[in-house]
Amino acid sequence: MNVERLQKVISQAGIASRREAETLITAGRVSVNGKVATELGVKIDPVKDRVRVDGKLIRGEKLVYLLLFKPKGVVSTLSDPEGRETVAGLTDGVPQRVYPVGRLDYNTEGALLLTNDGNLTHALLHPSRHVLKTYIARLKGIPGEDALDKLRVGIRLDDGITAPAEVYLLEADREKGDCRIEISIHEGRNRQIRRMCEAIGHPVKQLKRIRFAFLTLDGLKRGQYRLLTEAEVKRLKLLASEAAANE
């Protein structure tokens, strides 16, 4: 019999992170085989035991990991009250219910990792992990090196100073009055790249995330996804654990 801690089973089902699952358990919102479970140390068989969270049955699903090329005009959530297209609609061929690891805003396209592994999601999104996300941004106007240096050092936004970014000017088109830059950050604030560029006076016209950690869009078209290889999953988990060890 393969037994697991209850909070781990809830996390692996994509319901919540392991820490959040512990809160659900102590709050009396979880039952096992019809009995409320409030002890964190309880172990269960995820195949045979019936676990419910707020009365809803969950199942110990196979963990899956996929990379989606999110198009512009798609919401990085599983549902949308405004009826807009969501990433759930682009991954409906996946039997498991997968969740985005972070978000890309409605008008941003590019690499988006999705999984039902709540522990890995929590680890990768934790600010201390310093997981790099790389973008190509087309900006209005052509910033000078002094402006780009502000991004490289850190710039004050309304929610605090950003961490230093890696920034390269790729192309400057003086006839069109715009440019392309490559920018890499490890933070995940709301609309962060757009706000950083607005702060130096060069708003973003187009934005695309080309890399999440070491994962790129190679071989994918807009709206397509692929399953990660076993080696890629191991590398992601190693990345998360190494960063945690350096905290």
- 105 as an active site residue: the answer is yes
160 contact partners, CB below 8 Å, separation of at least 6: none
**What distances in angstroms separate CA 87 from CA 68, 100, 233, one per listed residue?**
8, 8, 21
The answer to whether 193 and 203 are in contact (CB under 8 A) is no
Q: How is residue 126 written in tokens?
A: 């934790």
Q: How is residue 222 written in tokens?
A: 């807009």
Q: Which residues of 88-122 are buried (b: 16+ CB within 10 A; e: fewer)?
A: bebbeeeebbbbbbebbebebbbbbbbbbbbbbbb
DSSP 110: E
How far, in Å, CA of 247 to CA of 121, rounded?
17
Measured in whole angstroms, the distance separating CA 45 from the mean position of its chain's CA atoms is 29
Q: Which residue among the candidates 105, 146, 149, 173 is catalytic per the annotation?
A: 105
What is the CB neighbour count within 10 angstroms for residue 66? 17
How far, in Å, CA of 119 to CA of 56, rounded?
21
Measured in whole angstroms, the distance separating CA 234 from the mean position of its chain's CA atoms is 17
**What distances in angstroms separate CA 6 from CA 96, 110, 139, 225, 243, one per listed residue?**
19, 35, 48, 31, 26
Q: What are the residue numbers of the active site?
A: 105
